[in-house]
Amino acid sequence: MNNISLILKREYFTRVKKKSFIIMTIVGPILMAALFIAPVWLAMMDNNEIKTVTIYDRTGKYKDAFQDTETLKFRFTDEQNAEKRKEEFKNSGDAAMLSILDTLSNDFVLYSEKAPDLDIKDKLSSKLNHFLEAQNYKKLGIDKAEIDAAKVSVNIETKTLTEEGEKVSSAELGIAIGFISAFIIYMFIFMYGVQVMKGVIEEKVNRVVEILISSVKPYQLMAGKIIGIAMVALTQFILWAVLTGIIVGFVYFAFGESIMPQGQDLSQIQNMSSAQIENMVGNSQFSEVILGLINFNWFAMIGTFLMFFAGGYLLYASLFAAIGAAVDNETDNQQFMLPVTVPLILAIVAAQGIIKNPDGVLAFWFSIIPFTSPIIMPLRVAVGRYEIWELALSVGLLIATFLATVWLAAKIYKVGILMYGKKVSYKELWKWLKYK
């Protein structure tokens, strides 16, 4: 056990001192914080730039369709010559030019000197759609005002029934947290699992392993390497979480007054009850997000995340360690990498469909099978669509599979770590597993 501890410390301190680790530890939280801050900032940001669009209407029927707004102005031109009209537009400094040539075939062309402005295009399309609809209503003798008055906007508020009573929840928030958790686990398993494999190959190629094996058992070497790198991954993840929280917290405290409704600051919002927040902001999207965050089951989510984060890494790291021991260089590992990585890739791809039906058969089996459960089960927990026995079964199978995988990987590691110059096949690996 002392040998495992020594190897663990060596792996840990060697990697946390690397420049790449330090850089990613600093850059990672900035990028993560940007994911939380950018949507709020973009939603709040008002584009006050005034843009002008040239309108050429050969039909003369669309003048009433284009009314100026605060950010979009319209300038009409009567120039009949197409080339002169285009030249005039280039010299005008306008953002775009809309050419209407035929009212029957809806022949509309939008010109611009640079790449088309999608915002302008969408606004023009909306104006033309509303105008043409109104014209059609007139032809049919229908009062558009009555139709508009009959339209309703439905806002469905979601609540979860718990033992403590009903709580406001947010389906979108659960999905977002679930996907973020699944992607973090997927990313860390790949990133640090491959580090285990590369570390084994490097020591094997440099013959460093021959010296290490003379002092420790192969199993101890593999265990120390896997656990040491696991601690590196956990250290980086904790630093990411803490630093991201600090950055997001600083931004919200610094600019909280501009994003809180009705002049409330962040500290006041945090000290309010769910009912007070709901009374203050009603059924707005802001209210739904705040209440969803307050009522979200963070205890279950964090516990599940840590269990499957650790279990998924240990399971796949042992497989990556076995691959590293079986080959002499990274070129030869491709034949073994594909079967190992396919379940992970399949899980992250299937997650997009599973989220639509988290109680379905596919969701159940993908959250139970140990090779896909580290990705899918946290996603189901985040949206609150799971049973306790399913979670217990998934964790139990993951632990059992990890122990079995470590035993198999150790047998491959024991034989392959000192084998050089031979391209290993699956048949050869099977022989190694039968060695006593």
Annotate the chain with three-state secondary structure: CHHHHHHHHHHHHHHHCCHHHHHHHHHHHHHHHHHHHHHHHHHHCCCCCCEEEEEEECCCCCHHHCCCCCCEEEEECCCCCHHHHHHHHHHHCCCEEEEEEECCCCEEEEECCCCCCHHHHHHHHHHHHHHHHHHHHHHHCCCHHHHHHHCCCCCCCCEEEECCEEEECCHHHHHHHHHHHHHHHHHHHHHHHHHHHHHHHHHHHCCHHHHHHCCCCHHHHHHHHHHHHHHHHHHHHHHHHHHHHHHHHHHHHHHHHHHCHHHCCHHHHHCCCHHHHHHHHCCCHHHHHHHHHHHCCHHHHHHHHHHHHHHHHHHHHHHHHHHHHHCCCHHHHHHHHHHHHHHHHHHHHHHHHHCCCCCCHHHHHHHHCCCCHHHHHHHHHHCCCCCHHHHHHHHHHHHHHHHHHHHHHHHHHHHHCCCCCCCCCHHHHHHHHHCC
pLDDT at 252 over 70: no
pLDDT tens readout for residues 357-397:
888 888 899 999 999 999 999 988 888 888 889 999 999 99
What is the arithmetic mean of pLDDT over 273-280?
Answer: 50
To the nearest whole number, what is the mean pLDDT of the chain?
77
Per CATH, the number for 51-124 is 3.40.190.10
CB proximity list for 116: less than 8 A, separation 6 or greater: 96, 110
Query: What is the pLDDT, as a whole number, of residue 371?
Result: 92
Most confidently predicted of 47-56, 211-220, 224-233? 224-233
* Band of pLDDT at residue 320, cut at 50, 70 and 90: confident
Where along the chain do its domains lie?
51-124, 167-434
pLDDT tens readout for residues 167-184:
555 667 778 888 888 888
Most confidently predicted of 32-41, 46-55, 374-383? 374-383
pLDDT, greater one: 291 or 428: 428
What own/partner pairs with CB < 8 Å and gap ≥ 24 does 43-47 have? 44/258, 44/259, 47/71, 47/119
pLDDT, greater one: 224 or 186: 186
What is the arithmetic mean of pLDDT over 60-66?
Answer: 83
pLDDT tens readout for residues 128-139:
888 888 888 888
Query: What is the pLDDT, as a whole number, of residue 392?
Result: 92
Query: What is the pLDDT, as a whole number, of residue 263?
Result: 47
Query: What is the pLDDT, as a whole number, of residue 374?
Result: 92
